[in-house]
A = this chain, B = another copy of it.
Amino acid sequence: MNRLDQQIEFIKEIDKLKEVYRRSYLLSQTRKENSAEHSWHIALMAMLLSEYSNTEVNSHRVIEMLLVHDIIEIDAGDTYCYDETGYMDKDRREKQAADRIFNILPKEQAERLINLWREFEAAETPESKFANSVDRLMPLIHNFNTSGRSWKEHGITKKQVVGRTKKIAEGSETLWKYAEQSILKAVEEGVLKDDL
């Protein structure tokens, strides 16, 4: 297969991400969100909110990372962030998925995308810390604005939400402050169960 054919094969393969559904509902609540449209949404979010990153970031790399970060879900599925059993073998499942899917591409592009995905997962660089902040903030915004629908469906409590989202602070203190205030408000309004 020539280079362009390999690239087109990959582009066709990732069409499947449009059918990986997350736990979050659209704000209209007509259906759950899929991982492809979610990736678009947070890439744009990162583009607009990068001024709040704790350290200056290369916005281009943040956006590329976010466009790529969920592709492994085509094979590995979306592991719900509060699913402790699912998290036990998440790494293994996702590594296998990355190997298969990214290697459809020509070698150096496969490596580039695998590295972006690994950087996101490790969350050690300023760019990946900020990318993770945005990725964790988005489901909060969906829950705040749908009366906590997916939280309620899965019996999620304040302790779990804070445990999951306090890492937002590592990428952005400002966005964490916003998240924290919104979580307190959700508890006050009875949208999120208080167990802390």
Contact = CB atoms under 8 A, between A and B. Distances in A.
A67 interface: yes
A44 interface: yes
A111 B178 CA distance: 25
Given A60-B60, A63-B63, A52 B4 contact: yes
A11 B67 contact: no
A99 to B, nearest CB: 18
A191 to B, nearest CB: 16
B47 A64 contact: yes
Contacts of A105: 48
| Stoichiometry (number of copies) | 2
Q: Is the interface of A mostly helix, strand, loop or mixed?
A: helix
Given A19-B30, A26-B15, A7 B48 contact: yes
A5 to B, nearest CB: 9
Instruction: Give the size category of A's interface with B.
Output: 35 or more
A145 interface: yes
A14 interface: yes
Contacts of A17: 37
B43 A11 contact: no
A141 B63 contact: no
Contacts of A11: 41, 44-45, 48, 141
B19 A40 contact: no
Contacts of A7: 48-49
Most interface-central of A18, A45, A60 (chain B CB within 10 A): A18
Contacts of A52: 4
Interface in A50-94: 52, 59-60, 63-64, 67-68
